[in-house]
Chains A and B, each alone.
Chain A
Amino acid sequence: MSQVTSSPVKEWMRGVIKEEEVERYLSNGRDFIDDEAIETLLRHNSRPDPKRVQEILAKSLNLERLDPEETVTLLNVEDPDLWEEIFVTAGEVKRRVYGDRIVTFAPLYCSNYCVNNCLYCGFRRDNHLQKRRQLNIEEVRRETEALVSLGHKRLIMVYGEHPLSDVDYIAQTIQTVYETKVGHGEIRRVNVNAAPLDIARYRVLKEVGIGTFQVFQETYHHETYHRLHPSGIKAHYRWRLYALHRAQEAGIDDVAIGALFGLYNWKFEVMGLLYHTIDLEKHFGGVGPHTISFPRLEPAVNTPLVRETRYRVSDRDFKRLVAVIRLSVPYTGMIITAREPAQVRREVIPVGCTQTDASTRIGIGAYSERYSEQELERQQFEINDPRSLDEVVRELADMGYITSFCTADYRCGRTGKYFMDITKRGKIHHFCMPNAILTFKEYLLDYASPATKETGEKIIAQKFAELDDQLKPIVTGYLKRIENGERDLRI
């Protein structure tokens, strides 16, 4: 099928957007992003009083979500000493909720056909330098085998918006991933990053047991959004904005949001993410996003906008925005990816991140075809940290973090409202840490290099010692069973 919008593609595009599935969530005909109100808040809360900042930090430490005025106060801090306090508090909040554990995953790009024309994206329709490809089912299986053989247990599968990668294709690829096993290895949780769907199509994905459905708004600023998305389905701001409302309504109770930092003022985007969280919680009984992502714009083939943007986020501001998001939504997972160079990940993970990827390849077919260099004409953007899972795991252990491959919550019925309740009460780490120990042990036994095994056993011992006494006999028993060859034990 042609990448150019031929008649069949245009016909397909006409059937995607359902206006009634946007209007039902509006408030007096308006969406939840009031650009003017946000800009006004940002302007009028400059140079905050340190005492006020400390009150807000105390609220975050109590694991309460911040109000917009409180988040703006943090964003507008200029005093470097106050920023250090913010960073320390953000790290403490993360520890209180999740413990010193980092979940790891890999992205699997399945298709780069796209009907949209996002000016910053290598996949955009009019980028004729991009080599178009979609994995067939056998190729998906081979990619999965390659990922499983590295030790991954969790994937995020990524698709362009095109009739070739419609919901049936997505569902079929997910099923293929779940069915693929290599020795002890398998993928236990598949998350999806794809175009917004209507409620009926979300139900199709729900049926195949997806983990989280992820849609990034890219930019919450209305005018910027319209300028950067001139055509295609993605030009419809509100269709995208309410994508995860529809997903939740369809029964997918783990949803994920994000913004692409570098398109507009980073402080505005942090506010957008907060308002998005608030609106989801309002509509769905307190169940907001399972994770928040904050990718920064990276170079992509034939995308001059990336070099020309005046909103590029410095490393200093990147660390700040991550810390503020952590404090604003203390209980939500936060993902930092291999877009970021290793040094930045080292610096930023401690201020609140809970998940990261490794051994990342984002070219279509890149895991099984193993090309040694990045090929930008097959990729959406450039990766800055291509290190292996083994290297990243070892470094995280050196930093005092245990890498987790846990999928327990979604297998035990601790999803949606249940997950949010435990997390908001600060109790989820009682499950996270034992499961991190168990899944990390599996990784060390099945996949780790000798150096990583040595470092890994030390961090297991350390984290085991920190467990509640009542958990130790259970975890000890499970560890013995894992050493004897059992797998997939969970708490």
Chain B
Amino acid sequence: MFDILADISLATLLVTVSGIALGIFFGALPGFGGSASLAILLPIAISLSPLDSMVFLIGVYAGGHYGGGIPSVLVGVPGDAGAAATVFDGFQMTRQGRVAEALAMVAMGSAVAGAFSVACFLIFGPVLAQAALRFGPPEFFVLVIFGLSVLGSIDLERMIKTLFAGMLGLAISAIGVDPYWAEPRFIFDTPQLYEGIPFIPALLGLFCIAQMLTLIDEKSLVSGQPAANPTLGATLKGMVETFRYWQSLLIGTVVGTFVGALPGAGATIASFVSYNLAKSTSRRPKLFGKGSPEGLIAPEAANNATVGGALIPTFALGIPGSGSAAVLMGVMMFMGLRPGPQLFMEQLPLIQTLCVYLLIGCVAMLLFGALAAGTFYRLTRVPLKVLVPCTIVAATIGAYSGRSEVFDLWVMLGMGILGYVLNKGKYPLSAVVLGLVLGPLAEQYFVQSLAMTDWDFTVFFTRPICIVLWLMILASVASAVILFRRNRAAEG
């Protein structure tokens, strides 16, 4: 292992840092997180050597997860679905003039969690991959239900409205062909709806457009007297402060790594589950949703910890855990690397080298966060009547670039109006997004489970991992109810 450190190449290091920087840039642009940025940068990647190509793309992947948290904090618009939970407390901190503190914590949480998950990938990759193999469609379905069960604790005071919003997201996701017979449902002969409501335009509409419509009537992003431009020293202090909330950091890191290792589970489930868990175990749960650092660190750490976690099934099993992981796997195979259990045996030095560069890349992420805090702060000082239309135009590129369909722009606008109406009625949009993300997964696993057992519904209640997950769901619901009653009693 130390031989690898001695062979660190400056050129490959620069490629890693470039990948991370580009990933952060694209991740911060609404609609360009995840596989979209990988697809755009693929031509650059395949012109490099196998190692350089892999560190570049994984750097983009990791940088994108961190980058998605930046607009969540600055303007309340997540760069991707995995950063949706970061909005709860991150944006509130900005509105309270604590943007430097929030961005510092996002940077440190992302770097620490990313480094931890990469280390887990290297040390436990094959072992965790074998554990992930024990999850079949019934286990995945119950895991998705677990992800949905955290809805109730997102906003305890509006629990019913939160659950309603989540169900609305699930209902909207049922537009399109079904996974069993491929029968078109509610598409009115519109070919663009065959695969359902396009996710990125819907996400951009619900969060970006709805948020911009809400902000256009306000005077500024920051209520009250804005804080001074953050200095490098203040930003570094904020980064060190992150470790005061080590419990939330640990929760996000562990949950994100584990959930990321499950193919198809994704950063969205990881971030919401860790937010819920951090809130349940916090000594100050009432501060969640009002600018709590714990409420920011837990989901942001989970979001980034899924990077290393997702590499586990991709490399060790040849099963990509997400669209982005599928792009990575495609490039690996193009470069002549065969993903699967034998990869760790045949190519261990390459895997180790990859991990070393990525760990160094996490440090680069931290440095970038420290140096760019001032620039990000200036963005919050841009007049809203300039920021709002510019953000809408940028979002349009994100919505259009996926399929080059003007239809997707109408979807974005339509969902934006829906999001605005839901906002006015105090329905949490994050719950709708969670339903939109998990709905297709839930139905797919539900139908697969029943198809493989000849429609035996007991399959969801008799398998050991399913039983454990149901117990966790009950614990999640119970803790939400207890917290809700505790809050109400405290308010008298």
A and B associate in one complex: no
Q: Which residues of A contact B (CB under 8 A)?
A: none
